Structure 1
Amino acid sequence: MQHKPIPRRVFLRLVACGAGSLVVACSNNRAGQNDTTTNTAQDTPAAQTTTENASISSTYQEAPMLTERVNAGQLPPVDERLPQEPVQIDVVDEIGQYGGEWRTAFLGMSDDIWINRTINYDGLVRWDTTFTKIIPNVAKQWEVNTDGSQYTFLLREDLKWSDGKPFTSADIIFWNEDVLNNAELSPDGPPNWLQVDGVPVEITAPDEYTVIFNFAGPNGLFLQRLAGSDGLEVVSIQAEYAKQWHNKYNPEVEQLTEEQGEASWTELFTSNVSSGQGSVRAHMQNPALPTLAGWTFVNSINDESPLIAERNPYYWKVDSENNQLPYLDRVIFEVVEDRDVIVLMALNGEIDMQHRGIGDPFNKPLFVENQTDGDYQLFEVIDANMNDVCIGFNLTHKDPMKRDIFNNKLFRQAMSVAIDRQAIIDTTEQGQGEPWQAAPRRESDFFDEEMAKQFTTYDLNQANTWLDEAGYRQGSDGIRSGPDDQPIRIQLATSSHNKGRLDIATLLLDYWRAVGIDITLLAEERDIFQDDRRNQNDFDVAIWSGDGGLTPLIDPRWYLPSSIESLFGVGWYIWSVDPQSDLAVEPPDEVKQQITLYREIEATADVDVQTAKMTEILQIAKTGFYAIGVSLPAMSFGVVKNNFYNVPMTMYNSSSFLNPGPTNPPQYFKKTET
C-alpha cells in the first residue's frame, strides 16, 4: 500500500454551511504497517463470523461476543437489532476484524469532552470527515423552510437505544419539554442556540419518526450547532428510562432521592440522566443510562479506574459488507492525574490512538525518536484554532479601577508588544508557529493580515512608552501605579491541566514584569477555574486556547462576547443573555453593535449576508483589540499503534469539530494475523 501525500493547505468555501474551512484528503493507507500484535483478545475477521447456530439466515454479520448472547437467548438476532436503514460507513483502510480494545486516557470528569469526541459523537446530524459538510446521522434526512425558521427531521425507523428500546420522536419531546424547559432542572431555560429573539424553540412530533423545530424567526446557524457538542444533547435521553428519576412521572422520587443520598430530586436526575445541557457526565457515572453511541459504559467513573465502555449490541451502523459496527469490543479510558502521564503512556505504547493531551509540538521530537520502541506511527492533526494561547484581560472586572486599566487600549497594546512571541515559539513549540493575534487563520474566508499581525512585534521601548502615555508611572521599585496611585497588581488565571499553556503563562509573567506590572500566576484545576473564576467573572486576566480560526461564524468567542468563554468580556456576555443578572455588565455601543450583528447572522440563512456581517464584527474586534493572541498553532500530531487500523493519517481538531469523532471511530480495529 502507498501512503498518499496530503496537501497542508487546501481552501474551500463551506457551501452548505456558510463558513470557511479546510479540506482534508485522508490517506486510505497505512505506511509501514506492522501486522503483528500483542493483543490477547480473540479477534475475528468481520466478514467471516461463524457460530455453531449459524443456520439462521441473516442480512448482517455481528461480533462473536454478540452471537454468543444471541445463541444464549440474551439478545435478538442482529437483523432485528438494526434499523430499517442502517448508516453505512466507508472504512479508511480495509474491512475490519472483530475484537480487541482501544486503550486511551483522559483526566476524568474535568476532561469529559474526550468521551464525546471518541465514543459519543452521534447526534441528529454530524460533520463529514473533511469539516466541510453536514451529513445525516440519527436523522436520515431533513428539510429547511425558505427563511431558515423551521427544520424538519426524519428519524431512522426502528433505531434502538443500547437497552433495545425504540428511539422515537417522543424521546426528543421529553428532553425539550420535561428537561430543557423544566424550571427546576434548567433554571436558565434553553440555551441561546435554541432561541431566536429570546423565544425558545417549539418542538413538535407529528409521528414517531418526524421531529419539527419551529423557531420564532430564522436560525441560520442551527445545523452547524446541531453538528457540534451542543447537538448531542438532543438525542441523549431515553424518556422511558428518565421518567423514573423525574418528579412529574414518579411520585416516589423524593424517597429515591433520599435513598441515593442526593440533596434534591433535580440533583438525582442530573446525576443519573442529564441536566438537559450536559448528559455526558451522567453516562460516566451511571452505566445503566441508555445511549445511542457505539459503546456503552459497563462501570462508573466513581469506581476504581479505568472507565470501560463495551460495544452497544444495538448500534445502528454497518460497513460496506454489512458487518455491524463497532469492530472493537471495548474502549478502555484510563483516568490519570495530568497530561504528563498520558504522554508517558503513549511513549510506552500503552495507548492505541490519541491526540488529546499528546499533540503539543514540544513533545514531537521525543515521539518521533521513540516510534520503533513504542510500536506506533504519528498522524497529522490540522488545528482549526487560530492561537495556542489567547489572553483576555477582564474588561468587565468587578473592581472599577482594574476595569478602567484593562479597558485602556494603550494598556493592552503595551501588554501585547511586551511579549517576545518568537522566543515563546522557540522555547515552547520547537520553533513551530508564527506570531499571531486573536484573528482568523490564512485559510479562512475571513483572514485579515493586519488584524493578525497588529501589535505583534516585540518592542519593550514601545510598551513602556504606551504605558507612560496611559499615565501608569513607575515607582522606585519599578512597579507601575494605576489612576488611584496604587501599584498595578494582577493575577493571571488559567487551569493547571495543560502544561504547554502553563509554560507560556510563566513566560508572560516575565515579559509583563519587565515593563512594571506586578503579576502572579493562579493555576487551578479545570473545574475550579471554569466554575469559580470564569463563570463568576472573578479574575483579572485569563488565558485559554484560541478557537475560531477557520470558522468564526460558528465559534466567535474571541471576537465578540458570544460565550461564557469570551474571557475578555464575560460580564458583557452575561448582559447579552440576562441584563438583570448581578454579573451583567452593560457593554459599550460598539460591542452592542457586534452582539446585534451576530444575532442578525443567526437570523438569516443567506450565506452572503452572514459573511458580510461577520466581516463587520471582525472589523470592530480588530479596532477594539479586545483580546491578545500569541502564536498561530503549528501542525499537531497524534499517535496510532501499528496494529490499529482505519485511522486517517490526517484529521482536524477544533472545539466545533469533535476530533476524532467525525472520522467514525466505530470503524477503527486492531489487526491480527489470521
Structure 2
Amino acid sequence: MVTRRTFLTGLIGSAVLPSVAKAAADRDIEPEFLRDWLRAGRIPAMVDRLPTHPRIVNMKAEGRQPGVYGGTVRTIIGSQKDIRYMTVYGYSRLIGYDKHLMFQPDILLGFESTDDTVFTFHLREGHRWSDGHPFTVDDFRYWWEDVILSKDLTPGGGALELRPHGTLPKFEVVDNLTVRYSWERPNPMFMPALAGPLPLVIFGPGHYLRQFHKKYQDDFRLSALMKQNRVKKWADLHIKMSRASRPENPELPTLDPWQNTTPLPSEQFVFVRNAFFHRVDENGVQLPYIDKFILNVSSSSIIAAKAGAGESDLQATGVDFNDYTFLKDAEKRFPVKVSLWKQVRGSRVALLPNLNCADDVWRKLFRDVRVRRALSLAIDRHEINMVAFYGLGKASADTVLPDSPLFRQEYADAFIAHDKEQANKLLDEVGLKNRDDEGIRLLPDGRRAEITVETAGESNLDTDVLELVRDHWREVGIALYTRTSQRDVFRSRAMSGTIMMSIWYGIENGVATADMSPGQLAPTMDDQLQWPLWGMHYLSAGQEGSPPDLPEVRQLVDLLNHWGDTMRFEEREVIWHQMLSLYTQQVFSIGLINSTLQPILRSAKLQNVPAEALYGFDPTSYLGLYMPDSFWFKEA
C-alpha cells in the first residue's frame, strides 16, 4: 500500500489569484527601517523582493493580532556562541512544525512524501536570500554535489539522517523549482530532521560559498582567504564561512527573519531584519514586525539578575524556575511581564548512572537493573517537588508528558514510589548486604558504596536537588558526593568513563509523536550521559566507541532500526510504546520531576507572546514554534 503525504501552500505555477504581496502593492507598507535602503536603491520594493507566493501567516486565525513595524528587542546571552539562539528562535525551515506538532511547509511552497522513501520539494518562485540573490534549486545542487559528496568537507559520508541504512539518497533536480530525494528504503527521520531546532542542512548559498571552495577558487586567492580567516585547510575555511547554525559570519546570506551584522569577537551582537524574508501577515505586511534584536553577552550566572533589573525585553534562556519569584517581583519596578511555560523534557532533572564508567565494580552494579530500580525507589520525589518546585511539577519517571499522544501512566509511574523497604531489599539481593559502622554499604571489593554525582554547575537547582537525594540515599546505605566541572570538561570526563553518575536533563522531547524519531530512548549520541561510548558507536557508524553489550540496550537499538524501516504509522506507534516501556522499566535514566515550569520574561509592550505554551529545545525550538517574527511592540 502506497502512502502519500502532500502539503502544498499557494498555487504552484499558477496566477489564477493575485498574491497577498501584489494585492498590497498599491499601499505603502514598507518598514521605516528600510526606507534609506529603498531610496539608495540597495533593495527593491516589497512586491519585487517577496516570493511570488509568500507564506501567508493568518494572525487572527492563529490567535494572534496583526502588528506594526518597528522596535528593538534586547536579550542577554551567556557567551558569544549563544548567538546560535537566533537561528533557533527564527525557526525558518524548509518544513517546520505547526503548534499541533504537525509538519507544514515554510521556506518550501509545498512538499510530497511517498512511503517515506521519495520526498519532492517545491520552491517558492522569486524567493531570495538576504543579499537579494535568488534562492533556487542550484543551492540544493551545490550543497549536494560540492559539500555532501566532497570527501574534504564531509569525510564521514553525510549526516545519519541522510544515510539511515548506510547509503545516501538519490538527488534530482526535477525542474527549476523542484528537487527530489529518494531512498530505496523508508527514511522517516528525514522530515523531523528538517523541522528540528538544529535542522539538517541540505542547501546553502552557493553563489556566496563558491569563493571558499577549492573547485571554484584559484589557489592563490584561496590561500589569502585562509590566512585572513586563520585556518590552515580550505575545508576548514568553507565550514567556518558556511556555518548557518551559529551565525558568526555576517556576510553569510540567510533565509532567517533576522541576520547578524556583528563579527566576532564582540560583547554585543546586532541582528537586523531580513528585507527578503518570505512570510507576510494576512494584510500583506512583511514579517518580521520587529526591526532589530540586540544580544548582550554577560556571565551566565547573572542573566536572571540583569533581566530582573530591566535590561532585557525578552528572556527565556539563562533563567530558571528558581528565578521566578525574583523575576515576578520585577513587574513592580519595570514594564515587564513574566509568564510560565511548561517544559517539554521527560524530566527537569534526571540522574544518569554511566553504564560505560571505567570503574569495573560500579559498572557491573549500574548494569544490574535492580540497582537502578533501588536508587530510584529510594528517592522521595514528593519532597523534591515541594522544596524545589513549590509543588508545581509532577513526580515522574523520565518519559513523555501527558501532552504527548504516546503518554501512558504506567511509564510515568515506573519505580517512582518512595519505597525504602523495597530499595533495601533490592540492594541486599545484589550482594550489598554488609555495611560499615556508619551504615554505609560495602562494595564487593571492600570499598564504601559512595557515588559521586557530577554536574556542569549551570543551575543551582541541580545542587538543591542533590542535597535532598543525598539524604534519601543515605537512608538505604548509599553515600552521595557531588563534583562540579565546566560543561566541556564534564562531557569529556563522561566519554572517558571517569564520571560514575551525572545529573542532567531527562529525554529532550517529552511531547513526541509516533512520526518523530525515538532515538532519544536508545544510545544514538555521544552526549547521552548514561551510555556515551555506546552512543558514539552508533553516531560514528561503528568507527568509534563500543557496541552495546547489554541485551536490553541492544533491544532498544533493534527497535529503533525497525522504526526507521517501517512506513506505517501504526507500526511506528507500537515501536514507540515498546521502547518507552523498556526504557522506563529498565530505569536507564532516573527521572525525578517533569511538567515543570519555565519563566519567560518579556516587555509589557511586546505583543503576541503566548501567556502559556510548551518550552523546550526539541521540538518547539524554545520560542521558535511561536514565531518571534510575529511579535511586535504596541508602541513601536
Give the alignment partner of residue 302 of structure 2, picking from 333, 341, 345: 341
Give the alignment partner of residue 480 of structure 1, picking from 441, 450, 466: 441
Give the alignment partner of residue 296 of structure 1, picking from 248, 259, 275: 259
- Distance in 2 between the 1:392 and 1:299 partners? 39
- Distance in 1 between the 2:186 and 2:500 partners? 37
| 1:193 corresponds to 2:161 | yes
| 1:259 corresponds to 2:228 | yes
1:123, 1:227 within 8 Å by CA — same for their partners in 2? yes
Note closer, same or farther for the CA distance 1:392–1:216 as it changes in structure 2 (3 Å cut).
Answer: farther
| 1:322 corresponds to 2:261 | no
2:619 counterpart residue number: 656
- Distance in 2 between the 1:225 and 1:124 partners? 10
Partner SS, residue 202 of structure 2: helix
1:457 counterpart residue number: 417
Partner SS, residue 95 of structure 1: coil
| 1:82 corresponds to 2:50 | yes
| 1:123 corresponds to 2:93 | yes
- Distance in 1 between the 2:100 and 2:344 partners? 10
User: In structure 2, what residue type is equivalent to 1:347?
Assistant: G
> 1:298 Cα deviation (Å)?
0.7
2:11 counterpart residue number: none
* Deviating more after overlay: 183-192 vs 608-617: 183-192
* Deviating more after overlay: 239-248 vs 148-157: 239-248
Per-residue Cα deviation, 1:540-560 (whole angstroms, up to 9, x for no partner) = 212322223221643545532
1:36 counterpart residue number: none
> 1:518 Cα deviation (Å)?
4.6
Partner SS, residue 379 of structure 1: strand
- Distance in 1 between the 2:424 and 2:83 partners? 43
| 1:159 corresponds to 2:127 | yes
> 1:233 Cα deviation (Å)?
2.7
2:70 counterpart residue number: 99
| 1:587 corresponds to 2:549 | yes
> 1:608 Cα deviation (Å)?
0.7
Give runs of ≥4 in structure 1 deviating > 6 Å.
Answer: none
- Distance in 2 between the 1:557 and 1:423 partners? 32
Give the alignment partner of residue 338 of structure 2, picking from 358, 367, 378: 378
2:559 counterpart residue number: 597
Give the alignment partner of residue 578 of structure 2, picking from 596, 611, 616: 616
1:32 counterpart residue number: none
1:287 counterpart residue number: 250
2:358, 2:496 within 8 Å by CA — same for their partners in 1? no
- Distance in 2 between the 1:418 and 1:595 partners? 29
- Distance in 2 between the 1:580 and 1:227 partners? 27
1:246 counterpart residue number: 213
- Distance in 1 between the 2:498 and 2:156 partners? 20
> 1:150 Cα deviation (Å)?
0.6
- Distance in 2 between the 1:449 and 1:213 partners? 39
Give the alignment partner of residue 138 of structure 2, picking from 170, 177, 181: 170
1:548, 1:557 within 8 Å by CA — same for their partners in 2? no
2:192, 2:517 within 8 Å by CA — same for their partners in 1? no
Partner SS, residue 485 of structure 1: coil
| 1:634 corresponds to 2:596 | yes
> 1:405 Cα deviation (Å)?
1.6
2:397, 2:584 within 8 Å by CA — same for their partners in 1? no
* Deviating more after overlay: 132-141 vs 598-607: 598-607
User: In structure 1, what residue type is equivalent to 2:227?
Assistant: E
Note closer, same or farther for the CA distance 1:578–1:117 as it changes in structure 2 (3 Å cut).
Answer: closer
1:505 counterpart residue number: 466
User: In structure 1, what residue type is equivalent to 2:256?
Assistant: A
User: In structure 1, what residue type is equivalent to 2:104?
Assistant: I
- Distance in 2 between the 1:312 and 1:259 partners? 27
Per-residue Cα deviation, 1:500-542 (whole angstroms, up to 9, x for no partner) = 2343234334444554445433333334434x24455552212
| 1:213 corresponds to 2:175 | no
Per-residue Cα deviation, 1:47-102 (whole angstroms, up to 9, x for no partner) = xxxxxxxxx96567221121221112222222221111111222354332222101
Q: Could you state the TM-score of these two structures normalised by the residue count of structure 2?
A: 0.88
- Distance in 1 between the 2:535 and 2:229 partners? 37
2:93, 2:107 within 8 Å by CA — same for their partners in 1? yes
- Aligned residues with identical type, % of pairs: 26
1:26 counterpart residue number: none
1:107, 1:336 within 8 Å by CA — same for their partners in 2? yes
1:548, 1:555 within 8 Å by CA — same for their partners in 2? no
- Distance in 1 between the 2:362 and 2:155 partners? 32
- Distance in 2 between the 1:578 and 1:136 partners? 31
1:493 counterpart residue number: 454
Partner SS, residue 343 of structure 1: helix
1:124, 1:139 within 8 Å by CA — same for their partners in 2? yes
2:12 counterpart residue number: none
- Distance in 2 between the 1:599 and 1:201 partners? 17
2:113 counterpart residue number: 144
1:133 counterpart residue number: 102
Partner SS, residue 521 of structure 2: coil
> 1:604 Cα deviation (Å)?
2.4
User: In structure 1, what residue type is equivalent to 2:77?
Assistant: F
Per-residue Cα deviation, 1:248-279 (whole angstroms, up to 9, x for no partner) = 332332342233322333332232223xxxx3
1:441, 1:447 within 8 Å by CA — same for their partners in 2? yes
Note closer, same or farther for the CA distance 1:620–1:582 as it changes in structure 2 (3 Å cut).
Answer: same
Note closer, same or farther for the CA distance 1:287–1:568 as it changes in structure 2 (3 Å cut).
Answer: same
1:247, 1:265 within 8 Å by CA — same for their partners in 2? yes
User: In structure 1, what residue type is equivalent to 2:95?
Assistant: V
Note closer, same or farther for the CA distance 1:616–1:82 as it changes in structure 2 (3 Å cut).
Answer: same
> 1:595 Cα deviation (Å)?
1.5
Partner SS, residue 410 of structure 2: helix
2:350, 2:505 within 8 Å by CA — same for their partners in 1? yes
1:441, 1:550 within 8 Å by CA — same for their partners in 2? yes
2:29 counterpart residue number: 61
2:25, 2:47 within 8 Å by CA — same for their partners in 1? no
User: In structure 2, what residue type is equivalent to 1:132?
Assistant: L
Structure 1 gaps of 5+ residues are: 1-14, 18-55
- 1:533-552 paired onto structure 2 within 5 Å: 533-534=493-494, 538-546=498-506, 547-551=508-512
2:405, 2:513 within 8 Å by CA — same for their partners in 1? no
1:3 counterpart residue number: none
User: In structure 2, what residue type is equivalent to 1:325?
Assistant: L
- Distance in 1 between the 2:237 and 2:362 partners? 41
1:646 counterpart residue number: 608
> 1:661 Cα deviation (Å)?
1.1
Q: How many residues matched?
A: 607
